[in-house]
């Protein structure tokens, strides 16, 4: 694989979903990511697959990275006090010559234990899992939970996308929805936990760009109990979406409008009910606005199931969409889509700040 010099708007992102819930081979995501090789420098890559654990589709799956056996032991002691572990095992990997200093990668299929608090104080299973992830990632040194949804998993490491795919044997998985990411980090370190995708519960995000509002966004989500611990601005996007859509119950389109709203002049010129909704959203969720050049692709299976693409308000980072049959595609470049789908029925470039949403009718 030839590696090209850096270009100004790297990283590379990709997403595909089958809207009928049928399974897509992992090779499709890898092929798409290989087509965008000029965008990466080998300091991080990853994939997220949805529908990959049908035998445990009702359990939360914790994909975890450990520096050593000591941190693994501490996490398992904590897990045993909080969840029922139905199964745990190493995540299957193979040796890749260029991926060195490998941590321990492990997965746990769990159910939250019943709470002993009064009924009014009990948290939902989802919030119990968020508390668990937050504690492990912020309080147990050398341990990070990198995904925590149901019937899905995040696989990431330091390396190029094709190396990370080989490491985790992505070609052995099939999913109804895939995300892929290749990093070219500029302001944050390249390390295993800081590679994309970023996940919480059923939300996974891949991001190209920079979040100049990160400080404001971070303070906002941390007011609601989240903690940003993975040393990159992109992590906050997953928490924002979970907060707005799951905890606050906003429709996905409205949550996207909070993150990347129209300019004030456009809101002021819209006097109908939609304009009033945009105004209320802009005022209420001012701290959720994400500034800076960005394009993101979001995979979600949290009440709603589907794939979402969104850019900043002037589209300073690229995003391309396509459709063929039951499959919808999003990527930084059209070449990635055509590598996985040589003859799409329609290809278009979404408008700035306008979400593209492909919903799954039936999860596999």
List pLDDT tens digits, range 137-149.
Answer: 999 999 999 999 9
pLDDT of residue 275: 85
- Clarify whether 11 is annotated catalytic: yes
pLDDT of residue 111: 98
Domains and CATH numbers, the chain: 12-359 (3.60.20.10)
108, two tokens: 């746990």
| Residue position matching structure tokens 């990527």 | 331
Tens digits of pLDDT across the chain (364 residues)? 444 444 546 799 999 999 999 999 999 999 999 999 999 999 999 999 999 999 999 999 999 999 999 999 999 999 999 999 999 999 999 999 999 899 999 999 999 999 877 677 789 999 999 999 999 999 999 999 999 999 999 999 999 999 999 999 999 999 999 999 999 877 777 889 999 999 999 999 999 999 999 999 999 999 999 999 998 999 999 999 999 999 999 999 999 999 999 888 888 887 788 888 989 999 999 999 999 999 999 999 999 999 999 999 999 999 999 999 999 999 999 999 999 999 999 999 999 999 999 999 864 4
Give the whole-angstrom CA distance, residue 321 versus residue 245. Answer: 23
Give the whole-angstrom CA distance, residue 51 versus residue 249. Answer: 24
Q: At what angle do helices 161-168 and 26-34 cross, to 10 degrees?
A: 160
List pLDDT tens digits, range 31-64.
Answer: 999 999 999 999 999 999 999 999 999 999 999 9
Catalytic residue among 11, 228, 256, 341: 11
pLDDT of residue 9: 64
Pairing of strands 104-112, 83-90: antiparallel
pLDDT of residue 214: 96
pLDDT of residue 7: 52
Give the whole-angstrom CA distance, residue 187 versus residue 274. Answer: 37
Give the whole-angstrom CA distance, residue 208 versus residue 195. Answer: 12
Produce one character per residue of 122-137: b if its CB has 16 or more CB atoms within 10 Å, e if not. Answer: eeebbebbbebbbebb
- Using CA atoms, how far residue 182 sits from 161, 195, 205, 207, 302, in Å, is 6, 8, 13, 10, 25
pLDDT of residue 229: 94
Give the whole-angstrom CA distance, residue 116 versus residue 346. Answer: 54
Give the whole-angstrom CA distance, residue 261 versus residue 56. Answer: 38
């Amino acid at each position: 694989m030839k590696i090209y010099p850096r270009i100004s708007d790297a990283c590379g992102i990709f997403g595909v979903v089958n809207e009928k819930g049928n399974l897509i081979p992992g090779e499709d995501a890898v092929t798409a990511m290989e087509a965008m090789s000029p965008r990466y420098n080998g300091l991080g890559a990853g994939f997220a697959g949805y529908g990959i654990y049908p035998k445990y589709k009702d359990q939360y799956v914790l994909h975890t990275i450990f520096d050593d056996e000591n941190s693994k032991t501490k996490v398992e002691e904590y897990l045993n006090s909080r969840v029922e572990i139905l199964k745990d095992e190493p995540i299957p990997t193979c040796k890749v010559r260029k991926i060195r200093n490998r941590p321990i990668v492990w997965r746990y299929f769990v159910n939250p234990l019943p709470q002993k608090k009064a009924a009014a104080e009990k948290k939902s299973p989802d919030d119990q899992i968020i508390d668990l992830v937050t504690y492990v990632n912020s309080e147990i040194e050398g341990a990070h939970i990198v995904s925590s949804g149901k019937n899905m998993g995040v696989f990431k490491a330091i390396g190029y996308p094709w190396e990370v795919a080989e490491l985790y044997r992505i070609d052995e998985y099939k999913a109804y929805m895939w995300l892929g990411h290749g990093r070219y980090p500029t302001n944050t370190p390249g390390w295993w936990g800081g590679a994309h995708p970023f996940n919480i519960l059923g939300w996974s995000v891949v991001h190209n760009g920079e979040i100049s509002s990160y400080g404001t966004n971070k303070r906002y989500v941390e007011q609601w109990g989240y903690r940003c611990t993975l040393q990159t601005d992109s992590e906050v996007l997953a928490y924002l979406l979970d907060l707005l859509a799951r905890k606050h119950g906003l429709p996905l389109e409205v949550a996207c409008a909070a993150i990347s709203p129209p300019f004030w002049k456009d809101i002021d010129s819209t006097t109908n009910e939609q304009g009033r909704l945009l105004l209320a959203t802009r005022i209420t969720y001012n701290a959720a606005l994400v500034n800076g050049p960005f394009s993101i692709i979001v995979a979600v299976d949290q009440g709603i199931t589907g794939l979402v693409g969104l850019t900043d308000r002037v589209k300073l980072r690229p995003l391309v969409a396509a459709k063929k049959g039951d499959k919808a595609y999003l990527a930084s470049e059209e070449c990635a889509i055509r590598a996985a789908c040589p003859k799409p029925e329609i290809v278009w470039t979404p408008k700035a700040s306008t979400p593209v949403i492909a919903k799954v009718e039936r999860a596999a």
